[in-house]
Each structure stands twice: as C-alpha cells, then as structure tokens.
Amino acid sequence: MSLARARRGRYQANYWPGFVDMLSTLLLVVTFLMSLFMLTNFIVSQAASGKDTMLSRLNRQLSELTELLALEHSKKESVEDSLAALQATLTDKDKENQRLTGLLGDAGGKTQGAEDRARTLGGQLDTQKKITNDALAKVEMLNQQLAALRLQLAAIEEALSASEAKDKDSQAKIADLGQRLNVALAKKVQELARYRSDFFGKLREALGDRPDFQIVGDRFVFASDVLFDSGSAELKTEATSQLDKLADALKQLETQIPPDIAWVMRIDGHTDIKPIATPEFPSNWELSSARAISVVRYLMQDGVPANRLVAAGFGEFQPIDPATSDEALRKNRRIELKLTER
C-alpha cells in the first residue's frame, strides 16, 4: 500500500503542462491588451477636440491597466522561476522516490521517511496551486476590466459618429452659405465695375482729352507733374480746378451707387526710382503717401465724405514702365484713383 501511495503521489506531481498552458494564456492576454492599448491610442488621437476630456480619462485608465499588466508580468516571471525550481525539485524527488522504491524490500523501516518527504512535496504542490489560483483570479479581473474598456470604446465610437454627422451637416451648411456669399459678392463687384466705368467716363469728359490723364485698367491715372512740383507734396494752384471736377464727380457718384454697396475711392501715390532724402521726406514712401494724403484732404474740403476716401503710398515699388528713361520716370510719377470695395 505504501508503494501504491508513492506511485500515486508521483503521478499527481506532474502539473507542469497545466502551468505552461496557463502562462501561455496569460502571455496572450498581455499581448492582446498591449495591442488593444496601441489601437486605442490611435483611435483616441483621431477624435475631435470636443472629446478631449473623455479621452484623457480613458488614457488614465489605460495607463493604470498598463501598470497592472506590468506588475502581473513581473509576478508571472516570478511564478516561472518558482515553477522551474519546483520542477527541478520534483525531478530530484522522483529520482529519490525511485531509489527508495528499489530499497523498500530491504529497508522497510525507511519507508516512513520517504512518505514524509512525499507529504512535504505534496504541501509544496498545494502552495503552488494556490499561487496559480491567485494568478487565474487576477487574469479574470483583467478580463473584466477589458470588457469594461470595450464598452467605453463603443460609447466613444458612438459619440464620435454622432459628432462626425453633425460636422458633415455643418460643413454642408457652411459650403452653401459660402456659395451664396460668393454669388452676392460677385454681383456687388459687377455692380461696382459698372459704376466705375460710368464714373471714369464722366471724369474723362469733365477733364477733357488730355494725355496726362489716362485710364489704365481699373484705375484713373493723373501724372504727378500736373498736381505737384518735383520733391513736393503741396498741390499746385493750377491743379485745384482739376481736383474740383474730380470732387464733383465723386459726389455725384455717391448719389448713384446704392447704399448697400460698401465702396471707397482709393488715392494711390507713386514715385519714380530716384531716391529722395530730405528732412520732410526721408524716402519715397513718405513722399508718395504725403501726396496721396494731400489729394484726399483737398477732396474732403471740397465736400467728398471722408468715409469714401482712402490714401495709400507705394513709393517707387509699383512702376508702370520699368525703364529708366526720362519718359518712363515721368509715367511712374503718378496719382492713381481706384474705385473699390471697402
């Protein structure tokens, strides 16, 4: 009977395949959770800014889960080491039991000692079973946390889907409003272009067919020499009659353009490339701006509303003719009128 108990104890001691399966399952769970963690980070990174709070909370939970998995991984390694040591002990004990079994016929008094060792080994196996059960309980807890995490991910996906639907609806509305706005602006621009053409025609008629007044594209161009002396921003006396005609045309234009069109007459000052450096005008920027302002001030004094006038200076940086001849320089010294939107 002692021999049968010894054999039964030897057969019951072979738990290693079960531990290997348990550890393999635990490793697969850990690998799956880490893959899920990376997938979750990718999904969360694509979420709309309005979901930052929920994603932050999820990241904290994932961080806690990662720490727990790392702890379990450390415990798993400890269990593996314990199992390896136990396996070695079991191997030694099996050899010892075999040797004792061979000596049972000659040393019956030593059987009790072998049984004590077998009981000790059984106690060690019970301890190892308890450790394994604890590990399985923790794996179950991780599975529950994983299920809860899946529910949270499903809720986030649903919220993101609803947000994307709202965004698409908003984008469609914005696109429709933008299209309507573009059509309205195009109509306003066409209306303004028509008034610009009428205004330039009347201004040309009022000023007469003079070579120093030209229409270039959407601008009416005055030669600066007609209005100012060289290096000066003070209007010539003989230029006031021309500006009076310009003021009359602008005042008449204001009565014709509908009030819903926001328009201004921009007065642009331009110089040639010859540099100027005087106490009053350190550069051509100052000279061109001062000339444009002088024209604006005169038109205001002549009754043109200030909110319909803009002064701008371009210096020598927008030439009509890039040549350096006297004729090219004369063309580039100019005052331009542009009827445009405010």
pLDDT class for 155, splitting at 50, 70, 90? Answer: confident
pLDDT score at 165? 77
- Do the beta carbons of residue 334 and residue 221 sit within 8 Å? yes
Closest by Cα among 91, 130, 94 to 114? 94
Residue 6 has pLDDT above 90, yes or no: no
Cα→Cα distances 231→109, 127, 152, 244, 312, Å = 132, 105, 76, 23, 17
Distance of CA 109 to the CA centre of its chain: 84
pLDDT score at 49? 60
pTM over 0.75: no
From 98-107, 152-161, 247-256, 288-297, the region with the lowest mean pLDDT: 98-107
Most confidently modeled of 65-74, 129-138, 322-331? 322-331
- Do the beta carbons of residue 310 and residue 266 sit within 8 Å? yes
pLDDT score at 154? 81
pLDDT score at 199? 67
| Residues 8-55 pLDDT 10s | 555 455 667 777 777 778 878 778 777 777 777 777 566 556 566 766
CATH domain 210-341 topology: 60s Ribosomal Protein L30; Chain: A; (3.30.1330)
Over residues 156-173, the mean pLDDT reads: 76
Pick the residue with more confidence: 264 or 100?
Answer: 264
| Residues 53-92 pLDDT 10s | 766 777 777 777 777 777 777 777 776 777 777 778 777 7
pLDDT score at 342? 79
Over residues 192-209, the mean pLDDT reads: 64
Q: Which residue has the tokens 């002396």?
A: 229
Q: Is 266 left (phi over 0), alpha (psi -120 to 50) or beta?
A: beta
Rounded to 5°, angle at Cα 11 from 8 and 15? 135
pLDDT score at 99? 77
pLDDT class for 315, splitting at 50, 70, 90? Answer: very high
Cα→Cα distances 195→216, 249, 264, 339, Å = 16, 12, 12, 9
Closest by Cα among 215, 225, 332 to 284? 332
Q: How far apart are CA 197 and CA 193, in angstroms?
A: 6
pLDDT class for 284, splitting at 50, 70, 90? Answer: very high
End-to-end CA distance of the chain: 111
From 68-77, 122-131, 137-146, 209-218, the region with the lowest mean pLDDT: 209-218
> Which tokens sit at 269?
């000052």
| Residues 287-301 pLDDT 10s | 999 999 999 999 999
Pick the residue with more confidence: 215 or 8?
Answer: 215
- Do the beta carbons of residue 338 and residue 219 sit within 8 Å? yes
Pick the residue with more confidence: 6 or 67?
Answer: 67
Q: How far apart are CA 56 and CA 161, in angstroms?
A: 19
pLDDT score at 1? 47
Give percent of the chain with pLDDT exceeding 70.
74
Where along the chain do its domains lie?
Answer: 2-175, 210-341
Q: How far apart are CA 302 and CA 296, in angstroms?
A: 10
